Amino acid sequence: MERIEGFSSRDRLERIQLLASIMPNSGNWVDDLDSHRATNENYQQVYEELSENMVGNYHLPFSVAPNFRINGMRYHVPMVTEESSVVAAAAAAAKFWDRHGGFTCRVQGTTKTGQVHFLWEGNEEKLQEFFGQVQSEMLVQLKPLTTSMDKRGGGIKGLQVVRLPHILPNYYQLQVQFDTADSMGANFINTVLESLAGVWTQSLAGNGTWPESWRRVEVLMCILSNYTPDCRVLCKVAAPVNELRDMAPNMDSETFLSRFTKAVAIAQGDPFRAVTHNKGIMNGVDAVVLATGNDFRAVEANAHAWASADGSYRSLSVATLHQGIFTFSLELPLAIGTVGGATTVHPMARHAGKLLGNPSAVELMQIAAAVGLANNYSAVKALVTSGIQSGHMQLHLSNIATQLGANIRERAQIKEHFRKKTVSSVAVKEYLQQLRHDKQDTPFLREG
Ligand code: MEV
């Protein structure tokens, strides 16, 4: 396609029209794209301001997995995902574990890290000594930025200078530990770090007792770390094996649990399996993260760094059978919030918060982890019993029927026909063609 000029300076409709004008066969592209806009003008305004160069709204289903019992509380959990079967899988596991004690979750800490990366040439011991002398004054200078967060129980919780010569010569970091209360805190952390870098640069420059070259520092960058091993949540389900009688159809519970724990052990040891296993966990975590307006890219990067923390990529969950007790647990770092950014601005994220009873960030971490564990349970259960495709493809069938433009009556016939048959796009297409062909042969059956 040809080059576009001045795209960002046009309004939304002008952008759509411009794209249509350079598109071969644009057809009703302009009207169709525009038909996805919100009918509520205030909401539409919010969507148009969330991102740049916006041309349309991209809808995903906002679903609910009901009846999650977490630490004795009941939640009906909003989930946003494009993948059929994820919500059904979460809901099925929530229902099963509701009968067996529910999910127990604990947040292991809420500390996040930010880094000022800098280069400095001089004597490290002297630098550390100087840092010790100016540290409190630097924190005082940051007070205008931190007071409001301090009042909410957050703020700066620690500050160190660390030398990392194995990465680069003369390379140091100011490492800062933060608590960001109920916000995810990225903007707060980055703002504080950039100010801190300025304060640090000035402090060094003002040290008149040092040689000139020691008073200069090159700040490379200031940014939060999305790896939060000290902001972590642990979630588990557990029950005596003799109470778990109804776990899997057509399989006794002992056999099922033995196969289940082996499948999880494989994901602990084999990275090829572990990635898919963890993807099944993130199916649930991401759906909650998206529904509540949180940053799913940060959540994903964080989880996978933790999964490889010991040098090998491993399953985030562990299953054990010990002294007659089955335990299935998940531990992952999770930096999400319930105030600020899209969590507050996005209309659907606000609905999600309301549905969850406007939880704190700590509560939301527990909810997201519980849903991740629930999805993982259902996926591994399906894998070691019926296989993933029987349940999965039945739900996928509906998407295929939609893609093929099947009407309501045809969809019902397709669903019935494939109830016990192997589903594939080709098979559904052929069956639909057959249906339409048969209908032409029997005019009295034709729909009005
Ligand atoms: C599909 O979205 C997720 C699974 O592949 C997870 C797994 O294999 O454990 C079913």
5 and 147 inside one domain: no
Strands, E assignment, 358-440: none
Q: Which domain holds residue 44?
A: 1-59
100 and 128 inside one domain: no
Chosen domain end from 36, 59, 82: 59
Res 447: pLDDT = 41
Question: Above pLDDT 70, what percent of the chain?
Answer: 97
Q: Tell me the C-alpha distance between 102 and 367, whole Å.
A: 12
User: What pLDDT digit, counting tens, does each position of 275-287 carry?
Assistant: 999 999 999 999 9
Atom of ligand 1 lying closest to residue 380 CA: 9
102 CB under 6 A from ligand 1?
Answer: no
**From 314, 388, 392, mutation site for ligand 1 pocket: most ligand atoms within 8 A of C-beta:** 388
156 and 239 inside one domain: no
Query: What is the separation of C-alpha 132 from the centre of its chain, rounded to a whole number of angstroms?
Result: 39
CATH number for position 261? 3.90.770.10
119 and 196 inside one domain: yes
Tokens of 186: 């990225």
344 and 356 inside one domain: yes
Q: pTM of the prediction?
A: 0.90
Chosen domain end from 43, 59, 75: 59
User: What pLDDT digit, counting tens, does each position of 56-106 carry?
Assistant: 999 999 999 999 999 999 999 999 999 989 999 999 999 999 999 999 999
Tokens of 268: 């602990």
205 and 246 inside one domain: no
260 and 360 inside one domain: yes
Write the residue with the smallest CA distance to atom 3 of ligand 1. Answer: 280
**From 283, 316, 389, 395, mutation site for ligand 1 pocket: most ligand atoms within 8 A of C-beta:** 283
Chosen domain end from 224, 239, 261: 224
Question: Contact, 422 vs 115, CB < 8 A?
Answer: no
283 CB under 6 A from ligand 1?
Answer: yes
324 and 376 inside one domain: yes
Q: How far is the CA of 249 from the centre of ligand 1 (A)?
A: 20
CATH number for position 167? 3.30.70.420
Give helix then strand counts, H and E, for the chain: 15, 10
241 and 116 inside one domain: no
Number of domains in the chain: 4
Please identify every residue annotated as catalytic.
Answer: 83, 279, 295, 392
364 and 428 inside one domain: no
375 CB under 6 A from ligand 1?
Answer: no
Atom of ligand 1 lying closest to residue 280 CA: 6
Q: pLDDT below 50 — which residues of the chain? A: 445-448
104 and 123 inside one domain: no
314 and 336 inside one domain: yes
Question: Contact, 12 vs 48, CB < 8 A?
Answer: yes
Q: Tell me the C-alpha distance between 334 and 276, whole Å.
A: 19
Atom of ligand 1 lying closest to residue 388 CA: 10
